[in-house]
Chain A
């Protein structure tokens, strides 16, 4: 394997990982932007997406159906959670949110354990994505290439949604000044519920996509959510661009770190975060509040 092909392969691996990280961190950052809360249950919802995807693949027999339906289902759960549990808390301090979403994470993880049992679950990738393609003379798994491409596609789609559509405009406006948006006659409550649901749905999408790579297991949400926090902090809380850049940064640091400094890889992402924060406390793309 030549050095060039090694670099390209590792970079593609990093991109695939970044894509998975993006799906979970973009939801966190959008939710933070609108509601100024940190959703500790986000990892659990990611995990719920993975398990729901598993069941949907079993029942429908189609990977693509699962990929489309699981995010819708989990997004629906998210909307329900916002309306029932979070709505009463908007007037309270953010400690209450930390606690409620933390409790929710426990409840969802436990519900998954009861529903699916402790055995890790996995489903095969569809035939068209199985196998490998040859890149610079070396084989590379097609599924990872698909992940990287799908991630890029979703970044562009979400970017277009936020920048070019009326709804995206309302979302950005609500993040800036919810009271003003409300005063202009827009139902801010539904924007909040919608964005919360969208964020949860995106996490679930990431969950379904991750299953062929890492399997769905009970600790899945716990380990991934902290990485997503790191990304959101590095990128700047509430910043869409920040979550993209943060995901890329962490994806690359982890992939190359695992290769060159395996002992430090686990600590490397936290060190990267501390370095960013010491220089820019608001994160790379965060705004002063």
Chain B
């Protein structure tokens, strides 16, 4: 059990020393998108809320961090955390409105919010830079005179630390009484309601938590790429992150990170091979959803379980997602 925690941590820690610089950069991007996908998993996998506007959190985090770094002169870690907190704050009224609807309406409402923010980012020239976005986002040194985070390796460690801490938090969050209530809501909202829980309050809570970590990912992306553009709010990105979650395996936290890695790997690899990589990528997703409903991580888990000891029965659920 301990090795299952220690091995990935050690791998993350030694990676910058063993890998060439451009791979470290790619890995940083994988970890950022992994964090983003993991935050969406709280909604999709654990609560059954299919958000199609999670890019709203990503974009808010990215723009928030960009503005704080460009104009407020905050140091990198402080600006990133502040941007994530601001995203969570904005998510409170957003979650309040979106959770008035359920199912597909919920998905469409979240989509509309993200598109609204896209429209604002696109038009509010003086603050957001309009269609050009904000360029030249610096990695401001500090706090306490620490300059390490501004380097390639230092920034990688900052991202890795955010992902690991977020993972640890989300793991205990979904295992907590709140988390199990979320599962109950996912399986049968009316029953949870009848048992005296207030599903709406729990949904808003998890919406805000997911927005915090989604915003954290976006806030890391802006200084990573050096810019923030309206595309970070666009529905294509919301769709892509949903793809990462479901391809990786919803309801596992680890799966979405795996999904993000596979997504970026495939995109980079296929685009070097062929001009029509998007065609292949799209077809792969379709095939994947139809033939591997439990996701990559579900497949891996089943293999491990089958190899080590007799397979434990996967818990069958109403919604068809396996409970880990």
**Interface residues of A, Cβ cutoff 8 Å to B:** 32, 36-38, 40, 85, 88-89, 91-96, 98-100, 102-107, 109-111, 114, 222, 226, 229-230, 232-233, 237, 263-264, 266-267, 270-271, 273-274, 277-278, 281-282, 289
Residues of chain B with a CB closer than 8 A to A232's CB: 108
Q: Are A270 and B279 in contact (CB under 8 A)?
A: no
- 16 residue pairs from A and B, CB less than 8 Å apart: A38-B104, A40-B239, A89-B290, A93-B48, A93-B321, A96-B246, A96-B293, A106-B285, A110-B279, A114-B275, A222-B236, A229-B108, A233-B109, A267-B120, A270-B113, A277-B100
CA A237 to CA B105, docked complex, whole Å: 8
Q: Which of B52, B284, B290, B319 contacts A88 (CB 8 A)?
A: B290
A187 to chain B, nearest CB (A): 23
CA A274 to CA B96, docked complex, whole Å: 12
Q: Are B279 and A94 in contact (CB under 8 A)?
A: no
CA A93 to CA B293, docked complex, whole Å: 10
Judge if B201 is at the interface, Cβ distance under 8 Å.
no
Q: Are B108 and A233 in contact (CB under 8 A)?
A: yes
Residues of chain B with a CB closer than 8 A to A91's CB: 320
A117 to chain B, nearest CB (A): 12
Q: Are A281 and B320 in contact (CB under 8 A)?
A: no
Q: Which of B100, B112, B236 has the most CB of A within 10 A?
A: B112
A111 with B279, Cβ < 8 A, contacts A99-B289, A270-B116 known: yes
Judge if B111 is at the interface, Cβ distance under 8 Å.
yes
CA A36 to CA B283, docked complex, whole Å: 23
Residues of chain B with a CB closer than 8 A to A104's CB: 282, 286
User: Can you name the residue of chain A whose Cβ is closest to the Cβ of B321?
Assistant: A93
Q: Are B290 and A94 in contact (CB under 8 A)?
A: no
Q: Are A114 and B101 in contact (CB under 8 A)?
A: no
Judge if B119 is at the interface, Cβ distance under 8 Å.
yes
Q: Are A99 and B104 in contact (CB under 8 A)?
A: no
Judge if B50 is at the interface, Cβ distance under 8 Å.
yes
Q: Are B123 and A267 in contact (CB under 8 A)?
A: yes
Q: Are B105 and A114 in contact (CB under 8 A)?
A: no
Q: Which of A93, A99, A281 contacts B319 (CB 8 A)?
A: A93
Q: Which of A95, A96, A226, A274 has the most CB of B within 10 A?
A: A95
Q: Are A98 and B107 in contact (CB under 8 A)?
A: yes
Residues of chain A with a CB closer than 8 A to B279's CB: 106-107, 110-111, 114
Q: Which of B123, B279, B289 has the most CB of A within 10 A?
A: B289
Q: Are B112 and A229 in contact (CB under 8 A)?
A: yes
User: For chains A and B in complex, what number of residue pairs have CB atoms within 8 angstroms?
Assistant: 128
Q: Tell me whether chain B's interface is mostly helix, strand or loop, or mixed.
A: helix
Chain B interface residue bracket vs A: 35 or more
Nearest 3 CB-CB pairings of A with B: A106-B282, A103-B285, A270-B116
A94 with B116, Cβ < 8 A, contacts A103-B282, A277-B97 known: no
User: Can you name the residue of chain A whose Cβ is closest to the Cβ of B104?
Assistant: A38
Q: Are A226 and B115 in contact (CB under 8 A)?
A: yes
Q: Are B108 and A38 in contact (CB under 8 A)?
A: yes
CA A106 to CA B293, docked complex, whole Å: 20
A27 to chain B, nearest CB (A): 16
Q: Are A281 and B290 in contact (CB under 8 A)?
A: no
CA A282 to CA B108, docked complex, whole Å: 12
User: Can you name the residue of chain A whose Cβ is closest to the Cβ of B120?
Assistant: A267
Residues of chain B with a CB closer than 8 A to A282's CB: 101, 105
Q: Are A233 and B105 in contact (CB under 8 A)?
A: yes
B238 to chain A, nearest CB (A): 9
Q: Are B276 and A114 in contact (CB under 8 A)?
A: yes
Q: Are A230 and B285 in contact (CB under 8 A)?
A: no
A63 to chain B, nearest CB (A): 30
Residues of chain B with a CB closer than 8 A to A99's CB: 242-243, 246, 285-286, 289
Q: Which of B48, B278, B319 has the most CB of A within 10 A?
A: B278
Residues of chain B with a CB closer than 8 A to A109's CB: 278
Judge if B103 is at the interface, Cβ distance under 8 Å.
yes
Residues of chain B with a CB closer than 8 A to A266's CB: 119, 122-123
A281 with B101, Cβ < 8 A, contacts A95-B50, A106-B281 known: yes
Judge if B159 is at the interface, Cβ distance under 8 Å.
no
Q: Are A103 and B109 in contact (CB under 8 A)?
A: no
Residues of chain B with a CB closer than 8 A to A88's CB: 290
Residues of chain B with a CB closer than 8 A to A274's CB: 97, 112-113, 116
Q: Are B290 and A85 in contact (CB under 8 A)?
A: yes
A94 with B111, Cβ < 8 A, contacts A233-B105, A267-B116 known: no
Judge if B250 is at the interface, Cβ distance under 8 Å.
yes
| B residues 87-125 touching A (CB-CB < 8 Å) | 97, 100-101, 103-105, 107-109, 111-113, 115-116, 119-120, 122-123
**Extra A-B contacts (5), CB below 8 Å, given A233-B109, A237-B105:** A92-B293, A98-B52, A103-B285, A226-B235, A282-B101
CA A113 to CA B281, docked complex, whole Å: 15
Q: Are B276 and A110 in contact (CB under 8 A)?
A: yes
Residues of chain A with a CB closer than 8 A to B293's CB: 92, 96
Judge if B44 is at the interface, Cβ distance under 8 Å.
yes
Q: Which of A38, A93, A222 has the most CB of B within 10 A?
A: A93
A21 to chain B, nearest CB (A): 15
Q: Are B286 and A85 in contact (CB under 8 A)?
A: yes
CA A237 to CA B50, docked complex, whole Å: 17
Q: Are B104 and A36 in contact (CB under 8 A)?
A: yes
Residues of chain A with a CB closer than 8 A to B285's CB: 99-100, 102-103, 106
Q: Are B52 and A106 in contact (CB under 8 A)?
A: no
A115 to chain B, nearest CB (A): 11
Q: Are B111 and A229 in contact (CB under 8 A)?
A: yes
Residues of chain B with a CB closer than 8 A to A98's CB: 50, 52, 107, 239, 242
Q: Are A103 and B243 in contact (CB under 8 A)?
A: yes
